A and B are shown apart, each in its own frame.
Chain A
Amino acid sequence: MDQIYNAIFIGSIYALFALGFTLVFSVLDILNLAQPALFTLGAFVALFAMQQGVPAALAVVVAFLVCGIAGVMCDRVAFAPLRRRSAPPLSAMISSIGVSLIIIRLIQLKYGPDLQAYPAGTLPAAVFSIGGLQLDTLRSAIIALAIGLMLGLTYLVRRTRLGRELRALAENPRAARILGIDVERAIAATFFLSAGLGGVAGVLYGFATNSPFSQMGLGFELKAFAVMVVGGMGSIPGAVLGAYILSFGEIASLTFLPSELRDAFAYGLLFAVLVVRPRGIFGQRAVDRV
Chain B
Amino acid sequence: MDDLGAFLAAYQTTIGFIGLNAMLALSVWLTLYTGQLTLGNAAFAGIAAYCSALLTMKAGFPFPLALACGAVLAAAVSVPLGATVFRLRGVYLAIATLAFGEIVRVAILAIPVTGRGQGLVGIPPKTELWHIFASLLIIAVALERLRRSTVGRAWAAIREDEVAAASQGIPVRGYQLAAFVLGALVAGWAGGLAAHFDFAIQPDEFGFARAVQILVFAVVGGIPNVLGPIAGALLFTALPAILQPLQEYRDIFQGVILVLVIVFLPRGLATILELRRTARLRTIGAEDVA
Shortest Cβ distance from residue A219 to the other chain B in the assembled complex, whole angstroms: 9
Closest chain A residue to B290, Cβ basis: A90
How many Å lie between the Cα of A95 and that of B209 in the bound state? 15
Distance of A29 Cα from B110 Cα, bound (Å): 36
Q: What chain B residues lie within 8 Å of A99 (beta carbons)? A: 255, 259
CB proximity of A235 to chain B, nearest CB, Å: 14
| Distance between B269 CB and nearest chain A CB, rounded to angstroms | 13
> With the chains together, A5 CA to B116 CA distance in Å?
31
Q: Is the CB of B255 within 8 A of A274?
A: no
A-B contacts counted at CB < 8 A amount to 139
Does any Cβ of A come within 8 Å of B251's Cβ? Answer: yes
| B 106-122 contacts with A by CB, 8 A | 106-107, 109-110, 116-117
Within 8 A of B (CB), among A43-89: 77-78, 81-82, 85, 87-89
**8 Å CB interface, A257-287 against B:** 258, 260-261, 263-264, 267-268, 270-271, 274-275, 278, 287
User: Do B96 and A271 touch across chains, with their CB atoms under 8 A apart?
Assistant: yes
Chain B residue at smallest Cβ distance from A102: B255
Tell me the bound Cα distance from A182 to B266 in angstroms.
27
Task: State which residues 128-180 of B face A: CB under 8 Å.
Answer: 162
Would B290 and A98 count as touching, CB distance under 8 A? no
Asked if B72 lies at the interface with its beta carbon under 8 angstroms from chain A, I say no
B284 interface hit (Cβ, 8 Å):
no
User: Cβ of A94 and Cβ of B96 under 8 Å apart?
Assistant: no
Q: Determine if A101 and B258 form an interchain contact, defined as CB atoms under 8 angstroms apart.
A: yes
Contacts of A268 in B (CB 8 A): 103
Some 11 contacts from A to B, beta carbons below 8 A apart, are: A82-B266, A87-B286, A94-B286, A105-B250, A229-B95, A258-B110, A267-B103, A270-B99, A271-B99, A274-B85, A287-B92
Q: Can you list the 9 inter-chain pairs with the closest CB atoms, starting with the nearest?
A: A98-B258, A101-B255, A102-B255, A105-B251, A98-B259, A98-B255, A267-B102, A288-B89, A271-B99
Interface residues of A (CB under 8 A from B): 29, 31, 33, 77-78, 81-82, 85, 87-91, 94-95, 97-102, 104-106, 109, 218, 221-222, 225-226, 229, 233, 258, 260-261, 263-264, 267-268, 270-271, 274-275, 278, 287-290
